[in-house]
Amino acid sequence: MASMGFPEPLDSINIIRECAYAPATATLCSLIIFLWVLHRFSVKRKNTLGSRLPRGPFAWPIIGNLNQLKRLPHRDLHELSKKYGPIMMLKLGSVRTVLVSSSAMAKEFLKTHDKVFASRPVSAVGKYIGYNSKDLIFVPHGAYWRHMRKLCVVELLNTKRIDSFRCVREQEMLLTVRSMWEMSGKGGKLVNLTMFFSSFSQAVMWRILSGTKISFHGDAHGEEIKKMVSEVTAVVGSINIGDFIPYLGWQDLQGVERRMKKVHNSMDQVISKIIEEHQQRRREFHKEHEQQPDIIDVLLEMESLDGMPITKENIKAIVFDMFVAGTETTSTTLEWAMSEILRNPSVAKKMQEEIESVVGRERAVSERDIGSMEYVQCVVKETLRLYPALPLLLPHESTQDCAVGGYFIPERSRLIVNAWAIGRDPSLWEDPLEFKPERFMGKKVDVVRDKDYFDMLPFGAGRRGCPGAAMADVTMNLVLAQLVHYFEWSVEGDLDMTEVFGVTTPRSVHLLARPALRLPTCP
């Protein structure tokens, strides 16, 4: 048969196999070609954007660089940046994270590429504390965030609204001054300034939000709310392993998510009750009462508007954000400011001389006096430089691939800006570790409104900058001016200036000082 030209049986089988495998071979070849083209396109795109990732330390399997973040992460990351540069790539668990530690790089990310990095990563905090990301702080970038941002900036925290609560801040400050004097036994004992700053900040914000007075020192209800706020800041400032190693998240190994749920439920009950009281008042009196509207009144009024509809969940989330974020950051900054004033008597003396040149010794300072007190404002700025309330700005997340500083930054990379390191950068600041308010004298540095100023970032920057910065700034100036105007302050021994890390970075020990009345009368 072979001589007649017929193939051997085995050859026939091979031909059949070849015919059968031909489509599979063609498909495989097509797939290889497709993957090669895709790879070349990806490489070309990366080369267009920037061919390399930022440098960074070796990342261990599973944990990445989490083991390098210890008790004070802002300081740990600052030390790493000295080796790897102002833009550094880390792996926090499985999360690709870009750390920025210089003014120039912060400006690149938060101004030049602001839109790309305007989002927030999904987190347990956003889910359990932020009403499933219905708030303003933790919600990812998108139409909902733009809507909420506009609501806060245009309706709740505009200049006119902030000024409308001026009397609230001034009244609560005078009450605080009187309470300090009485609790000191009229100068005989030390007073806990840490406690007073916290109580003052919460009392002011509670009145602004709800229109009602409550004492956060000595009142059982107020003390309970204060404990809740402390717990919120503790869990928000903790490193939740589930956010960085997702497949371990369901186990809640640290119990952080359980604590988040518990404190959220407690705060939600408090906020829900005050909103219901407002709704009841509106039903009974409608617009007949002439009481100044508080923030909840404004939000409820907007609930029925077509242009900016909001729900009760939105209202609760905004109130939660404003009360917690607007009190802890302010009280922490005041604590550090007074610490430096106590350590530097010459600073207190210069403040007193300036204040007396404006208001004399017969009356209290008002907010409208602050514009004439340049040195007082410089003290606040210098405090914000050395002690930003958030040493590490809340994390951003990129929404697409981009190139920054010649580096390729992939989509969904997390961005952390070390504001603490920027404020102490020796290339920007002479004697960066020294408290020198006069460095700002004669300079038009506006850390609240200047969108191009990145040499210090106490309120963040870009689309995610703090919308409450203006109110925080005027409050801090008033408090410090009033305290050094009414009292001479003294401490026992040397001050412990160590800090503890959290969502804010307060002193590790409470600030205690003794007041001595320097004006004819106490309010």
pTM comes to 0.88
Q: Rounded CA gap, 329 and 331, in Å? A: 6
Q: Is the pLDDT of residue 100 over 60?
A: yes
pLDDT band at 47 (very low <50, low <70, confident <90, very high): very low
How many C-beta neighbours within 10 Å does residue 488 have?
15
Q: Which amino acid is at 484?
A: V
Residue 322 has, within 13 A of its CA and on its CB side, a CA count of 28
378 is in an annotated binding site: no
Give 386's pLDDT tier (boundaries 50, 70, 90): very high
Please state, rounded to an integer, the average pLDDT across all residues of the chain: 89
For 268, counting Cβ atoms within 10 Å of its Cβ (0-12 exposed, 13-18 middle, 19+ buried), the class is middle
pLDDT for 292 equals: 80
- Which H or E run contains 414? strand 414-417
Tell me whether strands 95-100 and 414-417 are parallel, antiparallel or unpaired.
parallel
- Distance from C-alpha of 300 to C-alpha of 278, rounded to nearest angstrom: 8
Does the structure show a pLDDT above 90 at 29? no
Q: Are 468 and 325 in contact (CB under 8 A)?
A: yes
For residue 89, give the H/E element and its range: strand 87-92
CA distance 484 to 503: 28
Q: Is the pLDDT of residue 436 over 50?
A: yes
- Looking only at the bridges linking them, the beta strands covering 414-417 and 487-490 are unpaired
pLDDT of 205 higher than 80:
yes
What one-letter code names the amino acid at 374?
E
Is residue 408 left, alpha or beta, with left meaning phi > 0 and alpha meaning psi from -120 to 50? beta
What Rg, from alpha-carbon coordinates, does the chain have? 29
Q: Does 286 have pLDDT greater than 90?
A: no
Give tens-digit pLDDT for 484-499. 999 999 999 999 999 9
Does domain 66-517 match CATH 1.10.630.10?
yes
- For the chain, give the percent of residues with pLDDT over 70: 88
In the chain, domain spans? 66-517
How do residues 459-490 score in pLDDT, each as one tens digit? 999 999 999 999 999 999 999 999 999 999 99
* Predicted local confidence at residue 7, as pLDDT: 37
519: its two tokens:
């004006």
- Provide the CA 335 distance to its chain's centre, in angstroms: 18
On the CB side of 358, how many CA atoms lie within 13 Å of its CA? Answer: 22
